[in-house]
Structure 1
Amino acid sequence: MALILTIDTALERGSVGLFNNADSLGTFVNDSQKDHAGFVQSAIDQLVKDNNTPLEMIDAIAVVNGPGSYTGLRVGLATAKGLCYALEKKLILLNTLDIMAIASIAYHGEKDYYYAPMIDARREDVFTGVYNNQGKIVMEQAALTLNKEIFLPFTSEKKLVLSGSGAIKAAKTLSEEDIIVWDSSYTPEDINILAQKKAAKEDYSDVAYSEPNYLKAFYTTAKTIQ
């Protein structure tokens, strides 16, 4: 486990957090996406001041790296990379849908459902993937145009939990008895869960070559949330 600074500007709600293992040392949340760029650095400065913890003491910087807002992803990753270069710290890249799935699975008590976190991609499109209750991806992440056939292999077996900004419009294509719509979202603490798992496995990314994950390239093999 590690002392980790988390940065999230991927979606409408942004956050910055400082975590020592599972313990939160402080978090700040910003609900105005257009203000994320100004919010991030001031929030980091305040966290450092509040905890009397110089950034030099942290072990790694974790950033939510997409999919999400084009501009927001670039803001978060640029901030994280700049700090990693300046402080010579490790970089952890986190997938937005993975974090959303972690939050949804935990909220529903790991019930034996399928879980489909969704990010609205305008019109009838969403970024999504489907996970089982153990966090394993059973439908690869992709940018998809919604239709009822997409989720039929899952709703024919068990309940499908929809979450995120694309959930409501996805629900309109499905039968009410087949789905659960969770209208909440993930927290900085959920981000830290995945960040700590990656740090424990030393699953770090190359600072120089890291780019935002716009979900243009799809996963080609099934994976479990790492």
Structure 2
Amino acid sequence: MAKILLIETATQVCSVALSINGKIVSVKEESGQNLHASNLTLFIEEVMQSAALTYPDLDAVAVSKGPGSYTGLRIGVSTAKGLCYALEKPLIGIETLRMMAAGFMTENLDYSGLICPMIDARRMEVYTSIYNASLDVLEPTSAKIIDETSFSDTLSQHQVTFIGDGAAKCAATLVSANAEFNGGNFNSSKYMCALADKAYQSGSFEDVAYFEPFYLKDFVVTQSKSKV
């Protein structure tokens, strides 16, 4: 009966959940800017107490590995790795976009179209991929600058539902009878549950010493142009 701590910090949502035997027993999450550093460890403590578990009771820790916010991913992954080191427990890495697609399918069991999760990468750029209803990857993860021609071939043949915090800004650009936009929060750790449990059962673990987030793009520090 696997007990897995689930951590999602790839976007502005700071989310922690606990699953036991493939079922969510506790969730704590909040959305807002710069929440992860101050709230993540508190949320972890809350879900552990809610489930009446101690840290040694855990069988594994799963973390959303990206792409997404550089700072959010760094905080989430470093926290997960620290727990795994201290507890000598295995680490599970979950692709963030796959988690989002899994979340959409969890809430829309009869859906048969394609799912395009999008994470905002500023301006008209998004981190995105395309999955079918069985969560098979049809288009691999990439950073795209969205314009009127984006996904045109796919939209000409398939119904596509766009989800995530990057989808709303694309609605006015991706105009098609086959395009739908769902504003639900699918960056929730509870949607990692089935993926993490499957990874645990198959022994698909990360190397704790060398595991790094999937940033997709290098972090760039920009200098202010203002003169002092």
By the TM > 0.5 criterion, same fold? yes
Counterpart of 2:190 in structure 1 is 189
Quote how far apart the aligned CAs of 1:139 are.
1.0
State the match for 1:2 in structure 2. 2
What SS does the corresponding residue of 1:34 show, helix, strand or coil? coil
Q: Contact 1:8/1:14 (CA < 8 Å) preserved in 2?
A: yes
Q: Which moved more, 1:8-17 or 1:68-77?
A: 8-17
Amino acid at match of 1:24: I
Deviation at 1:136, TM superposition (A): 0.8
Deviations 1:95-150 (A, max 9, x none): 11001111223333242211100011111110000111111111111001112333
Query: Which stretch of structure 1 is more off in the superposition, 192-201 or 73-82?
Result: 192-201
**Letter matched to residue 206 of structure 2:** S
Query: Match for residue 127 of structure 1?
Result: 127
**Residue type at the aligned position of 1:2:** A
Asked if the contact 1:14/1:33 (under 8 Å) is kept, the reply is no
Q: Please state whether the residue corresponding to 2:115 is helix, strand or coil.
A: strand
Number of positions where the alignment pairs a residue of Structure 1 with one of Structure 2: 217
Runs (5+) with no aligned partner, structure 1: 218-226
Distance 1:70 1:166 in 2: 16
Letter aligned with residue 103 of structure 1: G
Q: Percent identity?
A: 36
SS in 1 for 2:209: coil
Quote the residue 1:201 is aligned against.
202
Amino acid at match of 1:124: M
C-alpha offsets along residues 54-108 of structure 1, whole Å, 9 cap, x if unaligned? Answer: 1111110001111111100000001000010000000001111001111223333
**Cα deviation per residue 1:25-76 (whole Å; 9 max; x = unaligned)?**
2111122231211211122222333333111111100011111111000000
Q: Tell me the distance in 2 between the aligned counterparts of 1:152 and 1:57.
A: 49
Deviation at 1:200, TM superposition (A): 1.5
TM-score of the superposed pair, with normalisation by structure 1: 0.90
Unaligned 5+ runs, structure 2: 219-228
* One-letter amino acid of the counterpart of residue 193, structure 2: N
The question of whether the paired residues in 2 share the 8 Å contact of 1:9 and 1:33 is answered with no
Give CA-to-partner distance per residue, 1:131-182, whole Å, 9 cap, x none. 1111111111100111233312211112110011111222222224121101
Residue 51 and residue 103 in structure 1: after superposition, are their counterparts in 2 closer, same or farther (change >3 A)? closer
Partners of 2:183 and 2:57 in 1: CA distance: 37
Checking the alignment, whether the CA contact within 8 Å between 2:113 and 2:160 is kept in structure 1 is: yes
What does 1:1-226 correspond to in 2, within 5 Å? 2-186=2-186, 187-216=188-217
Residues 138 and 110 (structure 1 numbering): CA distance in 2 closer, same or farther, change over 3 Å? farther
Report the TM-score when normalising by structure 2: 0.89
RMSD: 1.6
116-125 or 27-36: bigger deviation: 27-36
Aligned counterpart, 1:220? none
Change (3 A) 1:55 1:212: same
AA aligned to 1:209 is Y
